[in-house]
């Protein structure tokens, strides 16, 4: 029998997050138990209180870990030069988004975790939005605003218009990610980088055409 690691060990914290991700993905937040998570992580039950406060704190840490790991691997700009145009930054943003969701950006259990939360909400998404989703939204909003200004310099982009454009770009990306979890047609849920780039380029072309048409008709 393996010796249980001390609660203050940083390795224990990482193992708890990984074990919790798998257990939460399997059972959902409410049905998952701290005892099962700690058993999988080879950790004492007290380690959860020490590192995360309680079960909900651990659950939040799992979501934050997923998003942090994915963005560190595939940042929004993928290292693009600061002088890049709004079009170039939009193309790269879409590619990075899809690399996180269709490539190896997130842990294997991430999609099941999301599905469990959607099916039986715990209210965690509001907190995750502040730490993970809001920075992404703000980045894309700036890119789209700059793009609209370039297309129609005579008028400042309308706030609602920028928001709708942002939602449409994100919506296309999310659809490509989640459709592979729902349809048997999508044989592979993790794609090669070249395949992801091809999908990203199609979304980019569609989005650029729409943004230009909107700017021209404002």
The structural domains of the chain, with segments of one domain joined by +, span 10-53, 74-217
Q: Over the range 48-60, which residues count as b (16 or more CB within 10 Å of their CB) and which as e?
A: bebbbeebeebbb
Q: At the topology level of CATH, where does 74-217 sit?
A: Tetracycline Repressor; domain 2 (1.10.357)
Report the C-alpha gap between 64 and 131 in whole angstroms: 7
Indicate the angle between helix axes 34-41 and 55-73, nearest 10 degrees. Answer: 50
For 19, 20, 105, the CA distances from 36, given in Å and listed in that order, are: 9, 9, 26
Identify the CATH number of the domain defined by range 10-53: 1.10.10.60
Q: What is the pLDDT along the chain (218 residues), one digit of tens a residue?
A: 455 555 556 789 999 999 999 999 999 999 999 999 999 999 999 999 999 999 999 999 999 999 999 999 999 999 999 899 999 999 999 999 999 989 889 998 998 998 899 899 999 988 888 888 889 999 999 999 999 999 988 888 989 999 999 999 999 999 998 887 666 555 555 688 999 999 999 999 999 999 999 888 76
2 CB contacts (<8 Å, ≥6 apart)? Answer: 42
């Amino acid at each position: 029998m393996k010796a249980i690691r001390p609660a203050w060990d940083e390795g224990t914290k990482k193992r708890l997050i990984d074990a919790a991700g798998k257990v939460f993905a399997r059972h959902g937040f409410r049905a998952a138990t701290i005892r099962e998570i700690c058993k999988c992580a080879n950790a004492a039950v007290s380690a959860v209180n020490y590192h995360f406060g309680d079960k909900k704190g651990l659950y939040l840490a799992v979501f934050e870990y997923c998003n942090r790991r994915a963005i560190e691997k595939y940042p929004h700009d993928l290292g693009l030069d600061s002088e890049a145009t709004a079009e170039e930054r939009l193309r790269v943003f879409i590619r990075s988004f899809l690399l996180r969701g269709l490539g190896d950006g997130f842990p294997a259990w991430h999609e099941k975790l999301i599905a469990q939360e959607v099916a039986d909400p715990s209210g965690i998404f509001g907190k995750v939005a502040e730490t993970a989703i809001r920075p992404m939204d703000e980045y894309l909003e700036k890119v789209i605003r700059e793009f609209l200004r370039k297309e129609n310099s005579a008028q400042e982009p309308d706030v609602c218009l920028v928001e709708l454009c942002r939602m449409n770009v994100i919506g296309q990306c999310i659809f490509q990610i989640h459709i592979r979890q729902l349809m048997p047609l999508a044989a592979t849920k993790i794609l090669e980088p070249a395949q992801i780039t091809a999908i990203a380029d199609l979304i980019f072309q569609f989005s650029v055409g729409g943004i230009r048409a909107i700017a021209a008709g404002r």
